[in-house]
Amino acid sequence: MAGKGLDVHKLVQLALDFFDPPAAAPQPAQTGVFAPDEPPAPAGSAQAAPEKIASVPPAPAPPAVPLPSLLAPAEFRHPRANREVLLGEAVVAYALQRARRRSIGFTVGPDGLSVRAPSWVTLSGVDAALREKSGWILRKLSEARERQQRVEGGRIAWADGAVLPYLGAPLRVVLDPSHGFSGKGGALVPAAGPAGAGDGCSTGPTGLGLHIGLPRSAGPAQIRDAVQAWLMRDARRHFTARLEHFAPLLGVRWTSLRLSNANTRWGSAKADGSIRLNWRLLHYPPAIIDYVVAHELAHLRVMDHSPRFWDTVATVVPDYAALRDHLRDEPAPLW
């Protein structure tokens, strides 16, 4: 009976081993990175090692992109646009004008893209030419938009304490009704400057100050007109002095000076010696003004923009190229 009992115990142990096998040998720890032909083991298996995978820091999520930027393409629209084309991912609405010319010409300005094309070129041909130059066009349109945004950001808010550039430095407007009126119209009274200065500006820790004889209740239009009147008088004084300085150096004679208010042109010269200069040049540093004055006087010797003309300018303003770029890249403030 003892032998039979032993056999029974062996049978019970074999049955237990069959239904409850011994624990599997430990597996190497997982790193969370798997070879392409070895996919991760299913969850719950001995190879999954979830505690090791969880210890690997997750990859940083990409920055969120606003939904409108994903859906709406960039758009550049000329105010007089009569046709539009898709350049890359940007919609460009341009002003198309037919002209008597041999080739297609396009210009990017503050308003956007303008195209002049011969009458025999089809509309699809015009669009194809724009697509061919799409990189240049989009870059120039973006630069023009950024420039316009800078201009809008520098718009002058006409009130007591308004700040505007004068000869490249900040000029603060001060409403000062205690001053008497002087000058044409009597709207603007220069503040007392340093002894003997007589230039209409006072210096102090906050820079230049321009005192105008208006009550503090004056409206924006009154303040703007008073400041403009003073600037135009000062521009004539400053420009005249620089014309008299550069004319002998260039061997030319100027006959008259007129102030202009153009938005896109800084000066002009005629063969009879008459000069036109934009009074808004007074916003820029003196070196910029000198470049424009010398530029117009040089036209009294060379009435074009040939190499000989630029050589003439360089005799009195050697760094004219850098000054010209500064004038082009830094817009005057909006009034």
Domain range list for the chain: 70-153, 163-228, 229-329
- Residue pLDDT, tens place only, 168-204: 988 889 888 876 555 433 333 444 444 333 444 433 3
Structure tokens at 301: 């010797």
Rounded to a whole number of angstroms, the CA Rg of the chain reads 38
Segment 220-233 shows an average pLDDT of: 92
**pLDDT value of residue 165:** 92
% of the chain residues with pLDDT over 70:
69
SS (H, E, C) 238-275: HHHHHHHHHHHHHCCCCCEEEEECCCCCCEEECCCCEE
To the nearest 10°, report the CA torsion of 13, 19, 23, 29.
170
Segment 280-289 shows an average pLDDT of: 96
**pLDDT value of residue 38:** 37
User: In angstroms, rounded to a whole number, what is the distance separating the alpha carbons of residues 88 and 296?
Assistant: 42
Residue 329, pLDDT above cutoff 90? no
- Residue pLDDT, tens place only, 114-163: 999 999 999 999 999 999 999 999 999 988 888 777 777 678 889 998 99
Structure tokens at 139: 């870059």
Q: What angle do CA 262, 265, 267 make, to 5 degrees?
A: 100
- Asked whether the beta carbons of 49 and 30 are under 8 A apart, the reply is yes
- Residue pLDDT, tens place only, 63-79: 544 444 444 568 999 99
**pLDDT value of residue 297:** 98
Handedness of CA 212, 214, 215, 218 (dihedral sign): negative
User: How does residue 303 score in pLDDT terms, banded at 50, 70 and 90?
Assistant: very high
**pLDDT value of residue 6:** 47
Residue 240: CB partners within 8 Å, gap ≥ 6?
Answer: 257
For domain 229-329, the question of CATH label 3.40.50.10800 is answered with no
Residue 30: CB partners within 8 Å, gap ≥ 6?
Answer: 40, 47, 48, 49, 52, 53
Segment 211-238 shows an average pLDDT of: 91
